Amino acid sequence: MSKKELQKIPQVNEVILEVSKSITLHNSYVTRIVQREIKKIRAQILKNKLSSTREKYFKHIVKHVLQDIDHSLKNVINGTGVVLHTGLGRAPFQGKLLKKIAQNLDGYVNLELNLKTGKRGERQSHVDPMISAITGTESSLVVNNNAAAVLLTLNTMAEGKEVIISRGQMVEIGGSFRIPDIIEKSGCILKEVGSTNRTHVKDYEKAINRNTGLILWVHTSNYIVDGFTKEVSLKELASLGKKSKIPVLADLGSGALIEMDSMGLPAELPVTNIVDSGPTITTFSGDKLLGGPQSGIIVGKKKWINRFHSNPLYRAVRSDKITLSLLDETLRQYQKTSVNKNNIALTLLSTKKSTLKKRGEKILSLITKKKIKSLGLTLNDSFVEAGSGSLPVQNLESMALKFECKTIKPNDLSKLFRMANHPVLGYINRGNYYIDLKAVMPSQIDELAHIISAI
């Protein structure tokens, strides 16, 4: 039976010819996808788990090939409640801003050309003046993420020398990225001082020797240590560094440019507060509380910024024209103590529970009572995290759609939403499926109601 059944499988070229009517891609890529789908069918037949007609095999393979060669990077509705979701690209962008940036980037751009002089320019010049002014520093440098910023600064400032850091600040962030590992990879020598919960100035003083290259202060942005604790302030470390003629690096991580509590959010150390504490250099992310693209921003003394720029590592981690353009547009959204609504990340984070409740009620009003009943759909209070290690101390109030469906299991419901034409990402908690409204764009409310109705 298997032999006759195998003969029904269409030839690779037949499928490619049919697929080519709908989409044009590199032939080698399409061939590989077709071969993979045919291999799956063949394996099922050999296990006697599949029997069909040649026409159905053909349609099945074509359908799955077209699905697989479609764009895998898609716009999704974020129903997880986590606004700065690493898996979903952290800070979201306004579509109209992207269109504006696209116009600026259409064709060629003067990335490294000074239009006034006609001579070679510097890509950092498009963002450095604004970053430096906003953060109150002499100069700045943008690289592709904060990990790269820390790596570059460590390597430039203390390669082959000891880097002193408190044991209470040797953090790990997402993806198993650990501060001790980055110190080692930068070519520096880790010098631990103090204990997990208590570190004193004298610990740093005792550790300083002729081979000390840097004092590192890391903001523990994704957790807190409470109870019997003692830590040395950044201001004290900056003073010690100045006294000992040793540079001090402050790795802030999240990077807020304004006071978060002014937006009704939990307090978070703004970059200017860190800078005012006196470190030589400060690093932070551009795609967290700043609300911009993935980037690492280095600010501080101009002489050091120039050295970072001259380091061969800089060329490997520098940002491209798209990132710099996005960052420039993001920075233009900031005023002295506020940010406008084009900054979607901060707008979503600061959206009040009462507003989310109204959006949830609108969604329910657009769904039939029969559908609401069959899905066991209700609107409930919820609490969410900001995400990406930002604002870790306090959860944010939100509203979530709860599905207590008796006919569809939570995992199956989750997959149905993920595989919708407009994918929806929710979460499962205590045997029920939820779509939280905290990170759902206002423009997606009607679409979300339509998707729920179609489940």
| 341 within some domain | no
Q: Are residue 304 and residue 276 in the same domain, yes or no?
A: yes
| 112 within some domain | no
Q: Are residue 391 and residue 306 in the same domain, yes or no?
A: no
Average pLDDT, integer, range 350-366: 96
Task: Return mean pLDDT, the chain.
Answer: 91
What is the dihedral sign for C-alpha 135, 137, 141, 143? negative
Could you tell me the pLDDT band of residue 390, with boundaries at 50, 70 and 90? low
| 105 within some domain | no
Q: Are residue 367 and residue 253 in the same domain, yes or no?
A: no
Q: Give residue 220's domain range.
A: 124-331
Q: Are residue 283 and residue 416 in the same domain, yes or no?
A: no
Q: Which residues of 210-245 are buried (b: 16+ CB within 10 A; e: fewer)?
A: eebbbbbbbbbbbeeeeeeeebbebebbbebbeeee
| 422 within some domain | yes
Could you tell me the pLDDT band of residue 402, with boundaries at 50, 70 and 90? very high
**What tens digit of pLDDT does each residue of 85-121 get?**
989 999 998 888 888 899 989 999 999 999 999 999 9
Q: Are residue 296 and residue 162 in the same domain, yes or no?
A: yes
Average pLDDT, integer, range 124-134: 96
Write down which residue in 261, 296, 331 finishes a domain.
331
**What percent of the chain stands above pLDDT 90?**
68
CA distance 399 to 222: 23
Write down which residue in 297, 331, 365 finishes a domain.
331
* Residue where the block lists tokens 């359908």: 63
Write down which residue in 68, 98, 113 finishes a domain.
68
Residue 267 confidence (pLDDT): 74
Report which of 447, 435, 430 is spatially closest to residue 402, judged by C-alpha positions: 435
**Which stretch of 217-221, 239-243, 371-375 has the lowest confidence by average pLDDT?**
217-221
Does pTM top 0.75 for this prediction?
A: yes
Q: Reduced to 3 DSSP states, what percent helix, strand and coil does the chain have, rounded to the nearest 5?
A: 45, 20, 40
**Which stretch of 109-118, 328-337, 347-356, 436-445 has the lowest confidence by average pLDDT?**
328-337
Q: Taking a C-beta distance cutoff of 8 angstroms, is the pair 156, 308 a contact?
A: yes
pLDDT at 388 over 70: no
| 292 within some domain | yes
- CATH number, domain at 425? 3.90.1150.180
Residue 224 confidence (pLDDT): 64
Q: Are residue 278 and residue 365 in the same domain, yes or no?
A: no
Q: Are residue 154 and residue 251 in the same domain, yes or no?
A: yes
CA distance 338 to 400: 28
What are the DSSP calls for 135-165, one per residue? HT-SEEEEESSHHHHHHHHHHHHHTTSEEEE
pLDDT at 139 over 80: yes
Q: Token digits for 176?
A: 């198993």
Number of independent structural domains in the chain: 3
Residue 169 confidence (pLDDT): 85
| 103 within some domain | no
pLDDT at 443 over 90: yes
Report the SS3 class of residue 85. Answer: coil
pLDDT at 265 over 90: no
Average pLDDT, integer, range 365-380: 96
Q: Are residue 140 and residue 256 in the same domain, yes or no?
A: yes
Q: Are residue 326 and residue 245 in the same domain, yes or no?
A: yes
pLDDT at 196 over 90: no
Could you tell me the pLDDT band of residue 3, with boundaries at 50, 70 and 90? confident
**Which stretch of 273-287, 327-341, 430-444 has the lowest confidence by average pLDDT?**
327-341
Distances (CA, A) of 44 to 3, 41, 63: 13, 5, 17
Q: Are residue 213 and residue 254 in the same domain, yes or no?
A: yes
Distances (CA, A) of 313 to 14, 151, 186, 222: 49, 9, 10, 28
Q: Are residue 262 and residue 145 in the same domain, yes or no?
A: yes
| 353 within some domain | yes
* Residue where the block lists tokens 């600064």: 153
Q: Are residue 384 and residue 247 in the same domain, yes or no?
A: no
**What tens digit of pLDDT does each residue of 421-439 get?**
999 999 999 999 999 999 9
Residue 389 confidence (pLDDT): 62
| 429 within some domain | yes
Could you tell me the pLDDT band of residue 83, with boundaries at 50, 70 and 90? very high
Q: Highest-confidence range of 225-229, 256-260, 367-371, by mean pLDDT?
A: 367-371
Cβ atoms < 10 Å from Cβ of 95: 12
User: Which of the 8 DSSP states describes residue 297?
Assistant: E
Cβ atoms < 10 Å from Cβ of 379: 17
- CATH number, domain at 189? 3.40.640.10
Residue 194 confidence (pLDDT): 87
Residue 395 confidence (pLDDT): 84
Residue 195 confidence (pLDDT): 82
pLDDT at 225 over 70: no
pLDDT at 364 over 70: yes
